[in-house]
């Protein structure tokens, strides 16, 4: 299973470590190269210094060396060496070459203007580096101007100079740099991982706090929303969504809790009646008055229980499901059929708002069930001497049917949001023997199943149910 914490820690650690290692590697190479170049440049500078000590007068060459100013070529403390050849023969060499068994440096002739650098074993046994250069010594002459210039090639000779020194310090510094780099390669990734891990843990701490908050949420207790002690901008949208989810589910929990209680109440009454009737029949066997009504009352109670159970099954069967809407339904014909089946002269059909008699594609069973329940509900909960109006209107998107009636009981706007809940009744004592509060719940479920919009509103003592049926396509017959 993928872990955000581990993924962030691993990727950030690898990315930062690679970046740091690349920088360290580049720095190591750059420093090593710089140290080597500085050492070699120092050797070339020393060669240049030694070259200035050589001059030539006609055929004689002089080397003006003084150990007072260049003590490294005389003492035994970290000695350095030089040697000069004139015409292939040893011309001069440093006093330090006379201190050891090996008294001369290897001879090698470089090209004009070039310097050869090689690693060698010094006479004192240390590892060193030698630099070779070939040059023409400075000519001292009494001639001047153009005469001296023409005379130079005649008198000047080539001198080969070798200068050697130890590279122990150079190797030490290079070794120290490399060891530091290796230690950095080991320490830096560990420090990076430790830092990144703690940083990621600190950054994700609000998520852990949010998770702990969610774990404490219980629908069985008092509703409590999720909140962090220290709000985080990135988590605020998630917290808002969670709180919305909690509120929705808490309301569903309360609804299901009430529904369970209502179902138990609705079924308890007929079951209690059956038990009482059975106890009376057992207590008074052969009693004609009891036996005469026992079968009919039992059948009546059984039918009522069956009606409750069937209505609940219909509600759950079509909840969150969609029905096929491929049947042609003539709305006006369907409404006329439903009104005639009610055998009530209180119903008034008002189709004047419609431009014609519409035929839509929907589900016949669902539309008939919805209209039957809405008409029966209007007749049941309106004064006996009032009318029930069914109107029909058409627009480009839908056909709207409105069921209007006066209310026989006083309704509040808050009641409208509960009308479609299963087993909800305005009469809390449930004195009605034939109504269970499931009709409008079935209407709401079926309306959703056929993509219809069901609304309810109060208008000056009238209650209006509006059913908007999308026509796909709409056919008008005149």
CB distance 402 to 390 below 8 Å: yes
- What is the structure's pLDDT at 167? 92
Average pLDDT over residues 5-13: 84
- What is the structure's pLDDT at 426? 58
- What is the structure's pLDDT at 429? 47
CB atoms within 10 A of CB 294: 15
Give, for 402, the enclosing helix (H) or strand (E).
strand 398-406
Q: In 52-183, at which residue ranges do the beta strands (DSSP E only) sit?
A: 54-57, 60-63, 81-86, 89-93, 115-121, 127-135, 138-139, 159-166
pLDDT tens string 61-102: 788 888 778 888 888 888 999 999 988 888 888 898 888 888
- What is the structure's pLDDT at 261? 67
Handedness of CA 215, 220, 225, 229 (dihedral sign): negative
Average pLDDT over residues 12-35: 89
- What is the structure's pLDDT at 188? 86
CB atoms within 10 A of CB 447: 23
Q: Looking at the predicted structure, is the pLDDT value of residue 462 above 90?
A: no
Lowest average pLDDT, out of 95-109, 245-259, 348-362, 442-456, goes to: 348-362
Interior/surface letters 88-116, b for 16+ CB within 10 angstroms, e for the rest: eeebbbbebbeeeeeeebeeeebeeeebe
Q: Whole-number mean pLDDT of the chain?
A: 80
Q: Looking at the predicted structure, is the pLDDT value of residue 132 above 90?
A: yes
Handedness of CA 35, 36, 39, 40 (dihedral sign): negative
Taking the complete model, does pTM exceed 0.75, yes or no? no
DSSP string, 11-28: HHHHHHHHHHHHHHHHHH
Q: Decide which of 95 and 226 is more confident.
A: 95
Lowest average pLDDT, out of 20-29, 115-124, 328-337, goes to: 328-337
CB atoms within 10 A of CB 66: 10
**Spatial distance between the Cα atoms of 347 and 335, rounded to a whole number of angstroms:** 11
- Token pair, residue 179, equals 């060891």
Which residue bears the tokens 């059956």? 274
Q: Looking at the predicted structure, is the pLDDT value of residue 145 above 60?
A: no
pLDDT tens string 170-196: 999 999 999 998 898 888 888 888 888
Average pLDDT over residues 229-247: 83
For residue 36, give Cα distances in angstroms to 41, 42, 174.
Answer: 8, 10, 9
- What is the structure's pLDDT at 251? 77
Give, for 243, the enclosing helix (H) or strand (E).
helix 236-283
Average pLDDT over residues 25-32: 91
Q: In 376-446, at which residue ranges do the beta strands (DSSP E only) sit?
A: 388-394, 398-406
- What is the structure's pLDDT at 205? 84
pLDDT tens string 275-310: 887 887 787 777 776 667 777 778 877 877 777 677
**Spatial distance between the Cα atoms of 61 and 139, rounded to a whole number of angstroms:** 9
Which residue bears the tokens 């009504």? 293
**Spatial distance between the Cα atoms of 351 and 349, rounded to a whole number of angstroms:** 6
**Spatial distance between the Cα atoms of 464 and 313, rounded to a whole number of angstroms:** 27
Average pLDDT over residues 386-403: 85
Residue 112's region, left for phi above 0, alpha for psi from -120 to 50, else beta, is beta
């Amino acid at each position: 299973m993928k872990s955000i914490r581990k993924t962030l820690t691993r990727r950030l650690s690898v990315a930062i470590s690679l970046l740091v290692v690349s920088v360290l590697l580049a720095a190591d190479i750059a420093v090593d190269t710089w140290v080597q170049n500085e050492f070699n440049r120092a050797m070339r500078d020393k060669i240049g210094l030694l070259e200035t000590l050589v001059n030539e007068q006609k055929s004689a060459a002089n080397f003006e060396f003084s150990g007072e100013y260049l003590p490294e070529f005389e003492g035994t403390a970290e000695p350095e060496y030089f040697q000069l050849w004139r015409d292939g023969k040893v011309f001069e060499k440093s006093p330090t070459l006379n201190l050891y068994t090996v008294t001369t440096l290897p001879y090698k002739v470089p090209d004009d203007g070039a310097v050869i650098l090689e690693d060698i074993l010094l006479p004192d046994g240390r590892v060193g580096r030698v630099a070779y250069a070939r040059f023409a010594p400075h000519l001292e002459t009494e001639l001047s101007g153009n005469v001296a210039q023409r005379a130079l090639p005649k008198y000047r000779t080539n001198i080969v100079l070798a200068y050697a020194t130890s590279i122990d310090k150079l190797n030490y510094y290079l070794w120290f740099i490399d060891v530091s780099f290796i230690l950095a390669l080991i320490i830096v990734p560990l420090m990076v991982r430790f830092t990144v891990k703690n940083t990621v843990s600190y950054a994700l701490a609000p998520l852990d706090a949010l998770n702990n908050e969610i774990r404490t949420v219980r629908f069985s207790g008092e509703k409590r929303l999720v909140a962090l002690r220290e709000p985080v901008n990135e988590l605020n949208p998630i917290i808002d969504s969670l709180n919305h989810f909690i509120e929705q589910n808490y309301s569903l929990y309360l609804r299901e809790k009430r529904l369970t209680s209502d179902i138990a109440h609705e079924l308890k009454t007929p079951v209690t009646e059956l038990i009482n009737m059975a106890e009376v029949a057992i207590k008074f066997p052969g009693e004609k008055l009891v036996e005469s009504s026992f079968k009919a009352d039992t059948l009546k109670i059984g039918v009522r229980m069956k009606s409750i159970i069937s209505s609940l099954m219909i509600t759950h069967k079509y909840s969150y499901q969609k029905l096929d809407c491929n049947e042609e339904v003539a709305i006006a014909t369907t409404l006329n059929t439903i009104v005639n089946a009610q055998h009530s002269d209180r119903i008034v059909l008002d189709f004047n708002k419609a431009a014609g008699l519409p035929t839509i594609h929907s589900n016949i069973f669902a539309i008939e069930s919805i209209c039957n329940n809405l008409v029966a509900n209007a007749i049941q909960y309106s004064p006996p001497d009032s009318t029930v109006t069914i109107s029909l209107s058409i627009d480009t998107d839908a056909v709207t049917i409105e069921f209007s009636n006066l209310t026989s009981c006083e309704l509040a706007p808050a009641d409208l949001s509960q009308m479609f809940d299963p087993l909800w009744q305005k009469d809390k004592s449930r004195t009605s023997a034939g109504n269970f509060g499931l009709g409008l719940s079935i209407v709401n479920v079926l309306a959703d199943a056929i993509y219809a919009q069901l609304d309810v509103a109060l208008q000056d003592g009238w209650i209006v149910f509006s059913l908007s049926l999308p026509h796909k396509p709409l056919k008008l017959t005149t």
